[in-house]
Structure 1
Amino acid sequence: MISVRVYTKAKRQLIAAGLSVLMLLATACSASEVENTQAAAPSTKVSQPSAAIQSSKRIPAKVTRVVDGDTMKVSFNEGGKAKEETIRLLLVDTPESVDPEKPVQPFALEASNYAKTMLTGKDVQLELDVSERDKYGRLLCYLYIGDNMFNELLLENGYARVAYIYPPNVKYVDQFREIQKKAQQKALNIWSVENYAQEDGYHEGVVKGGVTPSAKSTTTTTPKPVTTSKPTTTTTSKPSVIYNSCKEANAAGAYQIKKGEPGYSAKLDGDNDGIACE
Structure 2
Amino acid sequence: MMRRIITALALAVTLAANSTASARSHVVIIDGDTLKIDSKTIRIAEIDTPETFRSRCENELVLGLKAKERLGQLVRGAADVTYNATGVDRFGRTLAHVFAGSVNVGEVLMREGHALRYEKGSGARAARLKVWCGPQAELPRHMLVEQMAAAHEKPKTESDATVHYPNCAAARAAGGTPIRVDEPGYSRKLDRDGDSVACE
By relative contact order (CA 8 Å, sep 6+), the higher-ranking structure is 2
So what's the TM-score if we normalise by structure 2? 0.48
Bigger proportion of residues as helix = 1
